Chain A
Amino acid sequence: MGKVIVVTSGKGGVGKTTAVANIGTALAFMEQKVALVDADIGLRNLDVVLGLENRIVYDIVDVVEGRAKLKQALIRDKRFPTLYLLPAAQTRDKEAVSPEDMVRLCNNLKEEFDFIIIDSPAGIERGFKNAVTPADMAIIVTTPEVSAVRDADRVIGLLEAMEKSDSRLIVNRVRSKLVDRGDMLSVEDVLEILSIDLIGVIPEDEHIIISTNRGEPIVSNNSTPAGKSFMDIARRILGEDVPMNMYTEKEDLFTRLKRFLKWR
Chain B
Amino acid sequence: MEDGRETDMSIVVKGERSYITVKIEGEVDSESIEGLKTQIEKNKNFFKEGKILIKYVGDGIPCKVLNEIITVLSSIESVNIIGVLTESIPQNEGNAIVIKKTLRSGQSVSYNGDVVIVGDVNAGAEVIAEGDIIVLGSLRGLAHAGAMGNRSAIIYALDLSPVQIRIADVIARAPDYTKDRSVPEIARVKDDSIIIETFHHGGIR
B124 engages A150 (CB within 8 Å): yes
Q: Is B126 an interface residue (CB 8 A)?
A: no
Q: Is B105 an interface residue (CB 8 A)?
A: yes
A193 engages B106 (CB within 8 Å): no
Q: Is B170 an interface residue (CB 8 A)?
A: no
Q: Is B122 an interface residue (CB 8 A)?
A: yes
- Taken residue by residue from 174 to 200, chain A's Cβ proximity to chain B (1 for < 8 Å, 0 otherwise) reads as 000000000000000000110100000
Chain A residues 130 to 151 lying within 8 A of chain B, measured CB to CB, are: 146, 150-151
Task: Give A150 to B141 CA distance when docked, in angstroms.
Answer: 11
- Taken residue by residue from 93 to 131, chain B's Cβ proximity to chain A (1 for < 8 Å, 0 otherwise) reads as 000000001111111000000000000101110000000
A151 engages B105 (CB within 8 Å): yes
Task: Give A157 to B102 CA distance when docked, in angstroms.
Answer: 9
> How far in angstroms is the closest Cβ of chain B from A188?
14
> How far in angstroms is the closest Cβ of chain B from A146?
8
Please give the residue numbers on chain B whose beta carbons come within 8 Å of chain A beta carbons, in ascending order. Answer: 101-107, 120, 122-124, 138, 140
Please give the residue numbers on chain A whose beta carbons come within 8 Å of chain B beta carbons, in ascending order. Answer: 146, 150-151, 153-154, 156-158, 160, 192-193, 195
**Overall SS of chain A's interface:** helix
Residue of B nearest to A152 (CB): B105
Residues of chain B contacted by A192 (CB below 8 angstroms): 138
Residues of chain A contacted by B105 (CB below 8 angstroms): 150-151, 153-154, 157
Residues of chain A contacted by B140 (CB below 8 angstroms): 193
Among candidates B101, B103, B122, residue contacting A193 with C-beta atoms closer than 8 Å: B122
> How far in angstroms is the closest Cβ of chain B from A183?
13
Among candidates A154, A160, A195, residue contacting B124 with C-beta atoms closer than 8 Å: A154
Task: Give A122 to B102 CA distance when docked, in angstroms.
Answer: 23
A195 engages B106 (CB within 8 Å): no
Residues of chain B contacted by A151 (CB below 8 angstroms): 105
Residue of B nearest to A157 (CB): B104
Residues of chain B contacted by A157 (CB below 8 angstroms): 103-107
Task: Give A106 to B53 CA distance when docked, in angstroms.
Answer: 57
> How far in angstroms is the closest Cβ of chain A from B111?
19
Q: Which 6 A-B pairs have the closest CB atoms?
A: A157-B104, A154-B105, A153-B105, A154-B106, A153-B104, A153-B122
Most buried by A among B105, B122, B140: B105
Residues of chain A contacted by B120 (CB below 8 angstroms): 193, 195
Residues of chain A contacted by B101 (CB below 8 angstroms): 160
6 A-B residue pairings within 8 Å (CB atoms): A150-B124, A153-B104, A153-B105, A157-B104, A160-B101, A192-B138
List 8 other contacts, CB 8 Å, given A157-B103, A193-B120, A193-B140: A146-B123, A150-B122, A153-B105, A156-B104, A157-B104, A192-B138, A193-B122, A195-B102
> How far in angstroms is the closest Cβ of chain B from A128?
13
Residue of A nearest to B124 (CB): A150
Residue of A nearest to B104 (CB): A157
Task: Give A193 to B104 CA distance when docked, in angstroms.
Answer: 9
> How far in angstroms is the closest Cβ of chain A from B102?
6
Task: Give A160 to B100 CA distance when docked, in angstroms.
Answer: 14
Residues of chain B contacted by A150 (CB below 8 angstroms): 105, 122-124
Most buried by A among B102, B123, B140: B102
Residues of chain A contacted by B103 (CB below 8 angstroms): 157
Residues of chain B contacted by A146 (CB below 8 angstroms): 123
Residues of chain A contacted by B106 (CB below 8 angstroms): 154, 157-158
Residues of chain B contacted by A153 (CB below 8 angstroms): 104-105, 122-124
Among candidates B104, B123, B138, residue contacting A160 with C-beta atoms closer than 8 Å: B104
Task: Give A156 to B122 CA distance when docked, in angstroms.
Answer: 12
> How far in angstroms is the closest Cβ of chain A from B121?
11
Residue of A nearest to B102 (CB): A195
Most buried by B among A150, A153, A156, A158: A153
> How far in angstroms is the closest Cβ of chain A from B125?
8
Residues of chain A contacted by B107 (CB below 8 angstroms): 157
Residues of chain B contacted by A160 (CB below 8 angstroms): 101, 104
> How far in angstroms is the closest Cβ of chain B from A11?
11
Task: Give A153 to B104 CA distance when docked, in angstroms.
Answer: 6
> How far in angstroms is the closest Cβ of chain B from A204?
24
Task: Give A146 to B124 CA distance when docked, in angstroms.
Answer: 11
Residue of A nearest to B119 (CB): A195
